[in-house]
Amino acid sequence: LPYRTLLMCTGDMGFTQSKKYDLEVWSPGQKRWLEVSSCSNFESFQA
């Protein structure tokens, strides 16, 4: 499957996240990219 990884801007992240990636795959039937997963890094944040 064709895929792409997007590095999200700080406006799309929660307060505790330091970095966030969205993974998308190309859907030929819908002719658009669909998000299939989201991965976040919280560094040393402790609640």
Dump pLDDT digits (tens) for 3-17.
999 999 988 888 889
Specify the pLDDT at position 14.
86
Which ranges constitute the DSSP H helices of 1-47? none
Q: pTM of the full predicted structure?
A: 0.77
Under DSSP, is residue 5 helix (H, G, I), strand (E, B) or coil?
strand
Using CA atoms, how far apart are residues 7 and 36, in angstroms rounded to an integer? 14
pLDDT band for position 34 (cuts 50, 70, 90): very high
